[in-house]
Amino acid sequence: MEKPLVSVLMTAYNREKYIAEAIESVLFQNYSNFELIIVDDFSKDNTVKIAKKYEAKDQRIKVYVNEHNLGQFPNRDKVASYAKGKYLKYLDSDDIMYPHCLEVMVSAMEKFPQAGVGFEDRFNQDDKSPFPILIRSQEAYKIHFLEGGLFFVGPSAQIILKKVFDEIDGFGKNTYFNSDTEFLLRIALKYPVVKFQPALIWWRRHEGQEYNKDKHEYWVSLERYHNFIISTLNSSSCLLNESERSFAIRSRRKLQTRHLIKLAIFKGKFVMASKIFISCGLNVLDLFLCLIPVRLFR
């Protein structure tokens, strides 16, 4: 069998309702030089049974089952460990790739071999040049921190150069909800990124997603993400100048304070909000300043 250029990586946990459609969206791609690796995270439903039916029919598909539940991001690292391709293309087991997805992504990455990662532009921003767009590291940081964000895209929207993934140790020890954004920031610190046209992926929305669960872990993850962002902006390796960093830090503190006000007032979790507020290094001045609208850097 020819060595695949792309390893499509699918993690799954109790996705019997959706995984068949996700697998079929991979098999129906216009681009064919891929392998599909599925790692089930100890599901309690028929997810594995469904996946293995496809494995029996197509030699490009390999299904693995964890002996115990690893959790979302550790399992993303696990599935990547089986990959043979030059590129890693995640697809969550409840999402769908449109038929042209791999073709567009691979073509763009081959056009810009210096890039470490590419991703779909979910927000369809107005750009001065057509897609795909190569964005240098410093510019990427400015867009993300000063112009409304760039890296708020999930793994399903990404394609990653495997050698870069290995170099930064994948998702590593980051196991919270915002780890995908942190992952992209770590890559962009060293490598240019590529932005693709929109409408390559369809994100399914349903009640079973971790993102939609109002759990303690979600709010704690905001604390960890906030502290990571502040640490990144204060680092000597940060790609922003002093005034840009100062603005980004103020904006981040203001946004985090607003999140915690929501947690305290609308969710009724004052004690939790207070603990996170202190852990994030926020103060009374932040409470006052959060009432002032965040404006873009000029």
- Report helix, strand and coil shares of the chain as percent, to nearest 5: 45, 15, 40
Q: What is the pTM of this model?
A: 0.90
Which candidate, 26, 140, 44, 40, places its Cα nearest to that of 89? 26
Confidence of residue 148 (pLDDT cuts 50, 70, 90): confident
Q: Which residue has the higher pLDDT, 195 or 292?
A: 195
Tokens of 127: 């750009």
Dump pLDDT digits (tens) for 251-283.
999 999 999 999 999 889 999 999 999 999 999
For the chain, what is the largest distance between any 2 Cα atoms, rounded to a whole number of angstroms? Answer: 63
Q: What is the pLDDT of residue 261?
A: 92
Rounded-to-integer distance, Cα 70 and Cα 108, Å: 33
Residue 97, number of CB atoms within 10 A of its CB:
22
Torsions phi, psi of 78, nearest 5? -65, -45
Dump pLDDT digits (tens) for 110-146.
999 999 999 998 766 656 789 999 999 999 999 999 9
Q: Average model confidence (pLDDT) for the chain?
A: 90
Torsions phi, psi of 6, nearest 5? -125, 135
Q: What is the pLDDT of residue 2?
A: 75
Q: What is the pLDDT of residue 127?
A: 63
> Mean of the pLDDT values across residues 89-112?
98
pLDDT at residue 243 above 90? yes
Domains of the chain, by residue range, sit at: 6-202, 214-289
Q: Tell me which fold the domain 6-202 belongs to.
A: Spore Coat Polysaccharide Biosynthesis Protein SpsA; Chain A (3.90.550)
